[in-house]
Structure formats: structure tokens, C-alpha cells
Structure 1
Amino acid sequence: MVTAKIFAIIIFILMFALIIMDKIPRQWVTLGCGLATIVIVFGICMRSPSAIMDTLNVKSIFTAEFWHVSGNSTEESSGINWATIIFIAGMMVMVEGMAKAGFFRWLCLTIAKAVKYKVMPILVTFMIMSAVLSMFIDSITVILFLAAVTVELSQLLKFDPVPMILSEIFCANLGGSATMCGDPPNIIIGTALGYSFGDFLSNTGLIAGVGLVVMVVFFSLAFKKELTANAGSGTGEAVTYPDPKEAIENKRDFIISTIIFLTAVVLLITHAQSGLTVAFIGVFIALLTLITSPKHVRHILKRVDYKTLLFFIGLFIVVGGLEQTGVLEVIASFIEKLCKGNFLAMVFIIMWISAMASAVVDNIPFAATMVPVIKSLAMTTPGADLGVLAYALSIGTDIGGSATPIGASANVVGTSVAAKAGHPVGWGKYCKTAIPATIIVLVIAMLIIKVRYF
């Protein structure tokens, strides 16, 4: 077993190193390392077909509880978290349907028009919109459309789009931390530990809400000078503002996609009461989108981000190798000894380690790695509350991922959109405001956790 542990660790470190280097597409990195885990760790070192089957975890899909849960049962299986993958795939299909109907561009332009195309009000409203949308839709999609419209408005109103895009990125990650379906790390944590949309909203949602108020003030003050530098410096010619209605190519598709989105929101909010799992909701919403858009089925399915789904599958296999060989139990034991039984210290260490790690590596694999660790800590530490550890991990990974350009996928997407528009964002420019903002929100989280749970 010692040999198996060593190879599991080597494969895991190699996977992280290759992801950070970003020379090979990350889905091939995790799939390759996942295959190496199955062959070397499970096959050669452990000679355990059962470990392979437990990690692939295909049988869980064919159980009734995978689709509908009665009572407060939680998912105890290890390995590939198919609920996460199926839910994300379903939401991707829904989002592509909404994008095809022009929903996101219409929403952005409608809000800009409502504040009379004034730069500072646009900054505030776009930050709030970024956070609210990211509570229900993957932050990558939110930033993709929000950043594109920001660039369009910046050309029209003559302001630098970078400060606004950086603010939107941070608020997207902040809003994503508020709910179970907001960010991939939360989906992983929620599905693995059996927490609902309401559980996250009433715990991490409180932290995100307070943090959002503070961040709106922070970024407004930090970027006011840059955003208003060219105010009133137009040529004097009449400016023609884009009409939000132009974003809607087909009114029927627009109405249907809006109804489907609202249906998804209702199902997610009530899934703890209805017993419907996120996997069921993902499949249902995807089928609803495809059935109501028969002419666009091929376009929607073609646009789904299959690379991210493959990335998740390989990632879960590699983490399953650490779990099956007992490496994660060793990590949990080390953290427990470090804290010397002090649960408050344990919570803060989990949160800050998660934040610092997620600032330099993708927060998705880190969250997947830490879920079994906090489960082990909750079982072995007297007085430990798994929920508090889970919410600390959620805040740490989601907010910590905002600190650098590579910490979360939304950061990469947002800065890429800015760069393509001729506004490259260096590490210095990004981190100048992102790191202080991250620290402020984490301190707020510490205060709320201390007051609420201890």
C-alpha cells in the first residue's frame, strides 16, 4: 500500500504541475493522469478491481437515490461524482439555449439603458448583476457575456473596460460562492456532502451578501478615477446607443429560454423539499431546452463545453486514487494535529489554505481534493461540524480563486475577452485590487463564522 500511496501522490503532483504549466489542454492532463491512476495505482500496485469500480462509480447512476433522495441521506460514494458532471452538462445546454436567444446581451443592454448609459452606475449595476446571475449560472458564462457587452459599451462611452471587467470577475466569484450551483467547487461540495441550495444560501450566502456590499464600495472607490478619466471627452457628435431589443433574434425562443431559466431556479431552490437531485434537475432542464428548440439542437449540443466535462472525469479519478490509498486520511490527520483539537483554528486553517492554494492553482481540483479531507476531519475531531468546514472550504476556494488571473476559470475568460479587445491585463494590474479585495472578504468571512458558529 505504501507504493500505491507514493505513485498516487506522484500522479497527483504531476497533474497539478501540468495544469499550472498550461502547455497541454487540461482535459488531456486529467484524463491521462486518471488513466495512470487506474493502471499503475489500482492495477499494478493495489491489484484491486474493486478500487477501480468504486472510483469509476458508474453503478451509482442506476440507483433510485441518484435521481430522487428521500430524507436527509447524503452521497457516500467516492470517485467520479457523476451528479456534478451531469448537472453541469445540463446547465451548459440551458445556457447555450439562452445565449442563442440573446438573453444575456438583452439583459446587459437593458440595465445599461436603465441607468442612462452613465459609467459609474453601469459599474455598480453590472457588479450586482454579475453576482446575482452567478448564483444560478456558471460564472464562466456570466463573465463571457458581461465582459463582451462591457467592451462594447466602453467603445461607445469612451472608458477603459479593464477596471469594470475586473470588478465583474470578482463579483461573479463572490456570487458563485453564495449557492450550491453557483461555482463548480460548490457543486462538488454540495453533491458530495448532501447540502442543498438553501443550506448554502443561508450560510455562505450571508457572507457573500455582506461581501458584495463592501466590494461595490471598494471597487467604486478604487476605479472611479480610471473610469471617469475620459468622461465628457467625446467629439460632440450625437451618440447612438444600442437598443436592447436588437439582441432578441427570435421573440418565441427568448420567452421560452427565460421560462426554462426560471424553472431551473425554482427547482434548485426547492430541491431539498422535493427530493429531486441536481442530476435529475440537470437532465430535465437540458431535455426541456432541446425539446423546445428543435431547430437549434445541433447548434446547442455543438456549443456545450465537453472539454470541461472530460476534465472533471479525469480529475475525480486522480482524487479517487488519493482517497483509495489513504493519502487524504494522512492529510486530515496532519491538519488535526496542527490544530490540536481547536475547531475554530481548524476552520480558519481550512479557509485560508484553500484561499491561498486556489489563488495559484485552479480551485476545482483543490475543492475535489479537500472534500474527503474535511469529511475525515469531521469524523475524527470531537465537536467538529462538517457543515462549518464545508462552508469554510467553499468560501476559501471561491474567494481565494479571485486573487490572481489563473485562480478561477472566470478570471481566465474575463481577461481573455479584454485582451482580444486590445486591453491586455497583466498580473500586476489584476492583483493590485484583486488581492486586497480577496483579503477583505476573507476577513469578513472569519468574523461572520466566529460570531455565528462559535
Structure 2
Amino acid sequence: MTAALVVFGATYLAIAAGRVPYLSLDRPSAALLGAVLMVAAGVLTPAQAGAAVNGDTLGLLLGMMMLAAYLTEAGFFRWASWKVVTSVRTPRALLWGLVLAAGGLSAFLVNDTVCLMMTPLVLRIVDDAELPPIPFLLAVAFGSNAGSVATLTGNPQNMIVGTLSGISYARFAAALALPAAASLVAVALLLERMFRAELPRRPLAAAGRLARPALDGPLLAKALGATALVLAGFLAGLPLAWTALAGAALCTAVGGRAPREALMRVDWPLLVFFAGLFVVVAGVGRSGAADRMHEGIAPLLGAGAARQTVVFSLFSVAASQVVSNVPFVLLAGHWIPRMAEPALLWLATALASTLAGNLTVVGSVANLIVLELAGDRGRIGFWRFLRYGSAVTAVTLAISLGILLGERALGWTG
């Protein structure tokens, strides 16, 4: 157990820090090194380590990233962003449009891609209209995080919840679509209130000067068709990973361009990160250390399902800031099956670990993508972001948990 705890602790510390002094380690390579050390220390055999890697999660993530890559190649995300910013007439309407568009797209496609594609056009419109960039950049980041709560394919941690819990796509969406929608409205209202002094009431004339992005019509039709078939398969209860991979394979076959272009857009380091973490967490579980951790937090959780849901959700928010949401959800997978209502706790964990991304700058990859793309225009200090993020996280979490527990009382989550 000692070896497993040392490897686990060192790996999660490296993940939390993002880098290791004197070593060229980032989060994916730290997870990979941790996996190798679990085998080298004898905690797991090579066969056990290989079996620990959850192919369903990796396949689902790969398939969805490839679908998003083909939609990107076709110009879909740029066109959708252009449509939003040219359809509104005031800065306040733009704020609402960005929150709802980022959230809506992130409900079905991985939210990191949505932020990557929307941010450049948002910067153009705020520059042309001489608007402060921060409210609109936060609208994209906060909106994408909140909207991605709605489905199993909205973000990586939801995918892990889906594969570990066995909750179907339709059941997950039925339970969390309403909390996600309410969170989006809350995000827009809060941003409008927090930045009311910086949002002029004059018309947004600059939007009309934006040129319509080019669309590859044939590729767009094929990519949208494949995505629609994949979503239909999800709702029909087909295996998530193979359904997503089938859609990706269809795009490579009929896309009319070299698959290498789409493959280059896949976030391969993220897949390495996941694979390494599966092995590290499996080592902790096999050693019995995960059981000891659960014994430590169990008294705080209490016995009732409602209390466990609220307390564990708060714990999820805090832990997601320390080690990030994906590593936390993987570790939580050892604890949740022992709780009063595992299905409810899985849903609450997905919800809380995702909304936790809005708390700090480093709370989610979506935040980092938006602010890094913005450069100096998106410069916002840790404490200023925390001031906005804490309000957004507290309100959306309270609303979402209230709705989720209300659905439980009505029997909708069972």
C-alpha cells in the first residue's frame, strides 16, 4: 500500500502543479510516468495495468473529438459563432447569445473545441465594437462549462461518469438537461449584473461588418449527418464508444479529404492523460488505499442520500480545484458505488465537478483556452477571476442541486 500511495500522491501532486521542477513533465506525461511506476513498484502487473485502461472512455472521447474535427474542417463552429454575433443588436444581447450558444454547442460536442472555435470571432467583434473583452470571454468559458453538464459527451469527466456508472445517454440527459439550462440562464443573468456598468446600451453596429465565414458545404452535410446519426444511436442505447467511433469512421470514409487533417486535431495528450490515470487509480484501488480514503471521508458524508449528494458535491468542487476534475472523478469511482444512491451520486458528481470549472482560472481547460487565445486582451488575475467565478459557481451549483434533488423526489433520477 505504501508504494501505491507514494506513486499516487506524487502523480496527483504533479497534476495539481501542472509542472515539476527540473523535469520536463506536464500533466499527461506525469500520468504516464505514474502508470509506469505503478507497474515498476509491483503494485500492478503489466496485464492488470493494461486491463485498467478503460477503452470505452478512450474510444468515446476519440470518436467525439474526430467528429468535432470534421465539423471544424467544414467551418461549422466559425459559422455558428458568426451567426450568433450577427444576429444580436446590443452588447447585452451579445452576452446572452454567447452564453447560450457556447452552452448549447457544448452540450453535444466536447466543450474545449467549442471554446477554441468561438473565441477568435468573439475577440474580433468586441475589438470592432470597442467593447471590454472580459465579460464576453467569460460568457464563452462559463457558458461552455455550464452547458456541458447536460450530456455524457459534453466534457471528458462526464464521459468517465457514463462509462463507469453505466448510466445511459438518455437517462443522463433527462436528469441533467434542466439543471444545465437553468445554469446557463443564471450565468447570463450574473454576468449581466456583474458587468452592467461596462455594457453600453448603444446598438452593436460592428457585427454587421463581419464577413461570413467560408463553409465547405458537402463536408458540413456529411459531418452533421454523421453527428446526428451518432446522437440518435446514443439515445437508442447503443454502446457509446463504438457509436462515436462509427460516426468518426463514416466521416473518414466519405469526408472527401485526407483523414490525417482530422487526426491532427485530436487531442492525443488528453488520451495519454486518461490512459495513465486509469492505471494510477487502479493501483490505488488494488492496494486498498482507496478504501482507506473512503473511510476517512465517510463520516462527513452521513447516511442519507440527500445529505450525501450535497456534501459530496461540495467536496467535488473543492477537490476539482486541487487535482482537476478528471482525476477526481476517476478516484471517486471507487467510492460512489458504496453510497446510499449511487446513480444519484454519479449525476451529482458529474454536475458538481463540471460546474467547479467556473470557480478558478485553472478550474477547467475551457477557461485556459479562452484566456490564452485572448492574450493580453484576456488578462485577468487569479483573484479577479475568483470573484466572478465564485458567484457563478455558488449560484449554479445551488440551483442545479436543488433541481436534481427535486427530480429525485419525483422519481426522475431512478
The alignment's TM-score, normalised by the length of structure 2, stands at 0.92
Look up the match of 1:257.
Answer: 223
Note if contact 2:86-2:208 (Cα within 8 Å) is conserved in structure 1: no
| 1:163-178 matches, cutoff 5 A | 163-178=135-150
User: What displacement does 1:34 show?
Assistant: 0.6
The one-letter code of the counterpart of 2:50 is L
| 1:31-70 matches, cutoff 5 A | 31-42=32-43, 49=45, 52-57=46-51
Look up the match of 1:76.
Answer: none
Note if contact 2:60-2:244 (Cα within 8 Å) is conserved in structure 1: yes
Helix, strand or coil for the counterpart of 1:180?
coil
| 1:174-253 matches, cutoff 5 A | 174-228=146-200, 231=202, 241-244=209-212, 246-248=213-215, 250-253=216-219
Partners of 1:88 and 1:193 lie apart in 2 by: 16
Helix, strand or coil for the counterpart of 2:346?
helix
Whichever of the two has the greater Rg, that structure is: 1
Helix, strand or coil for the counterpart of 2:361?
coil
Cα displacement string for residues 288-308 of structure 1 (whole angstroms, at most 9, x for unaligned residues): 111122423121112211111
Partners of 2:305 and 2:377 lie apart in 1 by: 49
The one-letter code of the counterpart of 1:226 is E
Partners of 1:221 and 1:41 lie apart in 2 by: 56
User: What displacement does 1:35 show?
Assistant: 0.3
Look up the match of 2:54.
Answer: 81
Cα displacement string for residues 186-228 of structure 1 (whole angstroms, at most 9, x for unaligned residues): 1101111111111111222222222222222111221232232
Correspondence 1:324 to 2:325: no
User: What displacement does 1:140 show?
Assistant: 0.5
Which of the numbers 332, 350, 368 marks the counterpart of 1:394? Answer: 350
Q: Between Structure 1 and Structure 2, how many residues are aligned? A: 404
Cα displacement string for residues 290-333 of structure 1 (whole angstroms, at most 9, x for unaligned residues): 11224231211122111111111001110111111122222223
Note if contact 1:358-1:408 (Cα within 8 Å) is conserved in structure 2: no
Look up the match of 2:28.
Answer: 27
Look up the match of 1:336.
Answer: 298
Note if contact 1:357-1:400 (Cα within 8 Å) is conserved in structure 2: no
Q: 1:373 to 1:154 in 2, by over 3 A?
A: same
Look up the match of 1:425.
Answer: 380
User: What displacement does 1:446 show?
Assistant: 3.4
Helix, strand or coil for the counterpart of 2:359?
coil
Q: 1:129 to 1:194 in 2, by over 3 A?
A: same
| 1:29-178 matches, cutoff 5 A | 29-42=30-43, 49=45, 52-57=46-51, 79-116=52-89, 118-178=90-150
Partners of 1:197 and 1:353 lie apart in 2 by: 25
Which of the numbers 389, 397, 401 marks the counterpart of 1:446? Answer: 401
Note if contact 2:125-2:207 (Cα within 8 Å) is conserved in structure 1: no
Helix, strand or coil for the counterpart of 2:92?
helix
The one-letter code of the counterpart of 1:14 is A
Correspondence 1:268 to 2:262: no
The one-letter code of the counterpart of 1:371 is G
Helix, strand or coil for the counterpart of 2:218?
helix
Runs of 4+ in 1 over 6 A off after TM superposition: none
Look up the match of 2:7.
Answer: 11
Partners of 2:321 and 2:99 lie apart in 1 by: 21
User: What displacement does 1:353 show?
Assistant: 0.4
Partners of 1:83 and 1:233 lie apart in 2 by: 46
Partners of 1:42 and 1:31 lie apart in 2 by: 15
Cα displacement string for residues 48-85 of structure 1 (whole angstroms, at most 9, x for unaligned residues): x4xx423422xxxxxxxxxxxxxxxxxxxxx2211111
Identity, % of aligned positions: 23
The one-letter code of the counterpart of 1:317 is V
Helix, strand or coil for the counterpart of 1:213?
helix
Cα displacement string for residues 71-108 of structure 1 (whole angstroms, at most 9, x for unaligned residues): xxxxxxxx221111111111111111111111100111
Partners of 1:42 and 1:123 lie apart in 2 by: 51
Note if contact 1:361-1:406 (Cα within 8 Å) is conserved in structure 2: no
Note if contact 2:59-2:245 (Cα within 8 Å) is conserved in structure 1: yes
Unaligned runs of 5+ in 2: 20-24, 410-414
Look up the match of 1:370.
Answer: 332
Partners of 1:41 and 1:396 lie apart in 2 by: 35
The one-letter code of the counterpart of 2:265 is R
Note if contact 2:98-2:143 (Cα within 8 Å) is conserved in structure 1: no
Which of the numbers 337, 347, 362 marks the counterpart of 1:406? Answer: 362
Helix, strand or coil for the counterpart of 1:159?
coil
User: What displacement does 1:240 show?
Assistant: 6.0
Look up the match of 1:298.
Answer: 260
Note if contact 1:134-1:175 (Cα within 8 Å) is conserved in structure 2: yes
Structure 1, 205-214 or 102-111: larger mean CA deviation: 205-214
Partners of 1:315 and 1:202 lie apart in 2 by: 29
Note if contact 1:131-1:175 (Cα within 8 Å) is conserved in structure 2: yes
RMSD (Å) for aligned C-alpha atoms? 2.1
The one-letter code of the counterpart of 2:370 is G
Cα displacement string for residues 135-170 of structure 1 (whole angstroms, at most 9, x for unaligned residues): 111110011111111111112211122211112211
Helix, strand or coil for the counterpart of 2:171?
helix
User: What displacement does 1:33 show?
Assistant: 0.6
Note if contact 2:320-2:328 (Cα within 8 Å) is conserved in structure 1: yes
Unaligned runs of 5+ in 1: 44-48, 58-78, 379-383
User: What displacement does 1:340 show?
Assistant: 4.3
